[in-house]
Amino acid sequence: MLSPLEKGRAEGKLSLECFEKIDLNTLLQMHPEYMEKLEVLREEARVRGWSMEYVDHLARVLGEINLEGVEYQLMPWSPLKARYSIMIDVGTTLPTIKDVKLHKLVYSISTENMREDSIEIDVVKNRITHIDEVFWEWEEGWEKDRMKLLEALDTYKILKWLIEEKKYSLREDYDERKYRKICEYLERIAGKIEETIQYPQQDRVG
């Protein structure tokens, strides 16, 4: 026997939390502050000639279920680790939704020079969640590669805008010291880049 409370009846309210892919338009109508924020970002990106595309979103749903003398039983599922689950017979009682919040809203930002990768941001958390690898893995000597140079510089411009003007922060596992070091290097060669390279509107074949 596990304990005197191995099985019996449960009373009270059980709090529930889950993350669901609820219709984005519905979520934005529920949280107009994010819709307004998104529209401002899109317009500022458009004016700068950048592309901004939807990537992903997720809603956080909070609820509760009222347990009125329902039967429960503790079930061992890992005897070696002394871990247990609980089985509750709620009958026809369904959870009541208490709140729905937009948990994350991810968009990518890129330019025509960023062919293989982009920057991704979480509009809800004001966080940069992904940085173009040509920028993040930058090595001295790559400036001889015209396309890498253009891509790294464009990435730098977007990041500078996000961090300095829009007050976004880097994802927690990104090294801020490494970020600053790359920025300092690109700033030193930025003038030479602007002088020697013409930015094509679009490379065409033929």
Express each pLDDT in 121-133 by its tens digit.
Answer: 999 999 999 999 8
- The pLDDT of residue 75 is 82
Whether residue 206 has pLDDT greater than 80: no
Q: What is the mean pLDDT of the chain?
A: 88
Whether residue 44 has pLDDT greater than 50: yes
CA 99 to chain centre: 21
- The pLDDT of residue 205 is 39
192 vs 151, more confident: 151
What's the sign of the alpha-carbon dihedral 49, 50, 51, 52? negative
Helix/strand/coil for 123: coil
What's the sign of the alpha-carbon dihedral 35, 41, 47, 51? negative
End-to-end CA distance of the chain: 80
- Percent of the chain whose pLDDT exceeds 90: 60
